[in-house]
Amino acid sequence: MGNKQWNFLNQSDIVDIIAPSSNVPGNLPEVYQKTKELLGDIGLIARIADDLIVPGRDLFSTNSLEYRTQHLIHAFTNSESKAIWAIRGGYGAAKIIPFLEKITPPKEPKLLLGFSDITALHLFVQTNWQWSSLHSPVINQLITNAKLLENIKPIIFGEKNIHYKDLIPLNEAAKQNKIIKAEIIGGNLSIVQTSIATSWQIASKDKIIFLEEVSERGYRIDRMLHHLLQAGIFKDAKAVIFGEITPEYEKDGSNLCIPAMENFAKELEIPVLHFPFIGHNLKHNLPLPFGNICSLKLGTSAELSCFINPNN
């Protein structure tokens, strides 16, 4: 059975702003106002609680675990909002999942948007509730670069499907003239690794695995990838697409993340490609659907097409 597709948004739909992860820098009233203006500019209503973020209430995150849990459960289950958009990634979302496991899955899927630490929630709703979702910039990223919203708007309103060209083949299997049709699953590499041996472990069988990462040195990228390899995550997958791997540079100023990714690609028998326009770079972070059937055209001119709305 395929995943449940979220409904396309319409003008004046309510979007619940969630903050399950790290604190948001800056003046909070100003951040809240900019959030409402950003979504208001495309016709959506951002619903954001005044006490959503209380710095200092939790050692690492925006608010207490109890508050974040209750707020997130309400966002998933209330009947007023049509989407859930994370204000920031960072750290903390995975700690809420044991409480999400205890609730009855909502009958109607909502559109979940975000990336980075929100990978934990993407994996949970895709694996446990069979929901589709959208790997996309978080609100804090949009505040910094509102132009990123231009790529998201036609997707969430069902006006446009996704078509990305110039994916870079990284191994021989990716250079073959072949088309793979499968769902995409994944997100942030370290969170995907965190999912191993949990109830929300990445379910990669017959899927295309997407991975991106930020601020890691080359050997850490290599270590995480080989952990996934030894855990069998790549065994029955259809392909791997690396997004942007934003490095922490070595002491000599070199970047070993890209070589680590390229070397790892040669170890896999399934196609591995690179598309460096999805990730933490504020200049570009294109949306990517999870749980929708996508078509990956391999070869020297590799392309990815995802059918959000079959009518477009």
Catalytic residue numbers? 116, 212, 280
Dihedral over Cα of 189, 132, 288, 28: its sign: negative
CA atoms of 216 and 227, how far apart (whole Å): 15
Gyration radius of the chain's alpha carbons: 19
CA atoms of 2 and 57, how far apart (whole Å): 40
CA atoms of 289 and 123, how far apart (whole Å): 12
In a 13 Å sphere around the CA of 60, the CA atoms on its Cβ side amount to 11
